[in-house]
Amino acid sequence: MKKLDNFSSCLDVLWHANFEFAKENEIYRTGIIWQFNLTLELAWKALQEILKLHGAAGAETGSPREILQLGYKLGFLNDSAVWLLMLKKRNVSVHLYNEDDIDEMILLVRDSFIPAFSALEKTLQEKLAEVRADWE
């Protein structure tokens, strides 16, 4: 599935980010933040697609927040607070000018957001396999 593949590819880039190097390099920090934004965008779209495959009512349309809430309600996501924080941080990330705010964002990406993305990726792969097994 293309949307899940795209999400997985973006997540792989974040996994391989050098967070030590980011401490010293402003452009690299900015790159990590933009990669986070792209990964989040692809994450909720992949979630939406697999929710639709599972016939989840309300998955056809919706904002990222609505899709994430539906995913949490149906057990596709396990930590709604982290996902809602991701949305909040995505919305303010284009206005990060203070080094302390940027450092905080980098730490959140490394310590909270990448693990949440990874858990979702695993769940989506499992849920896609369930749908494929039903088709056979």
- Mean pLDDT across 32-58: 96
pLDDT for 131 equals 87
Q: What is the pLDDT of residues 97-131, one digit of tens each?
A: 888 889 999 999 999 999 999 999 999 999 999 98
Q: What kind of architecture, by CATH, is found in domain 2-131?
A: Up-down Bundle (1.20)
Alpha-carbon distances of 77 from 5, 14, 25, 73, 120, rounded to whole Å: 18, 19, 33, 8, 6
The model's confidence at residue 38, banded by pLDDT at 50, 70 and 90, is very high
Beta strands in the chain (DSSP E): none
Please tell me the pTM assigned to this model: 0.94
Ranges of each domain in the chain: 2-131
Could you report the per-residue pLDDT of 82-100, keeping only the tens digit for each?
A: 999 999 999 998 887 888 8
